[in-house]
Amino acid sequence: MGFENILYEKQDYIATLTLNRPPANSVNLATLLEIEKALDDAEESKDVRVLIVTGAGEKGFSAGFDVSDAANADKTGPKGQELWTRIDRFTKPVIAAVNGYAFGGGCELAMASTFRVMVETAKIGLTELNLGIIPGWGGTQRMPRILGKSKALEMILFSKRITAREALDIGLVDRVSKEGELMKDVMEMATFLAKRPPLAVQAVMRAVNIGLEKGIEEGTKAELEGTLIVSKSKDAIEGFTAFMEKREPNFKGE
């Protein structure tokens, strides 16, 4: 696939989507349409079990919405919200490798991801109110779910830009990497996740998301559906066989 605004690579069941508009890696409508195509591929491909999202260069993960593309704001707003929601509901783990500052829509992209790993030198925050606008790609919904209401409102209303360590302390990111070690750490996580049973991973992701969005009753229904699917899978037989034979299982997603 040839892209102008992103890089998209696949290897060993891991896909890497890199926002390629350094130094800020800001997101315009053309970038969103390319991200959509990459998500289509990652979702449909059996060769992808984990998706990494990161930014090109060392300065920025993403500064979010590209204000120079304001002419397309009526399209960019809904499309950004739709795609970040899709990432949030993705049935394969998405790891945000936050390689530099993540502000506005960039912070929202990180929050939509399953896991967030941030380099120690970066900063993160929802800074939209400085421009007289509000977070529009899911930030008003995801930040309170991650941090709780008052902490999220403090972050948003004060337009706070916090360090990686502060983000780790309040639970906004899951892990902080030393400078120069971010992609090594993220690849370690992705490699481990890629060896997990794909059908079971998808069933867990789906059940968790449905439960959080629709409540425990719908969530437990989804859990039961997932249980019925995986219990009849070849991967379940492989998992039990490998356990009895004291070897590492080789899951095929079947």
Q: Return the axis-axis angle of helices 105-112 and 73-88, rounded to nearest 10°.
A: 20
Is residue 128 annotated as part of the catalytic site, yes or no?
yes
Contact in structure between 76 and 28 (CB atoms under 8 Å): yes
Residue 219 contacts by C-beta under 8 Å, 6 or more apart in sequence? 207, 208, 210, 211, 212
> Which residue of the set 108, 166, 181, 238 is catalytic?
108
Question: Tokens for 207?
Answer: 């059940």
Is residue 108 annotated as part of the catalytic site, yes or no?
yes
* C-alpha distances out from residue 184 to 47, 97, 98, 125, Å: 21, 10, 13, 24
3 state SS of 242: helix
**Catalytic positions:** 108, 128
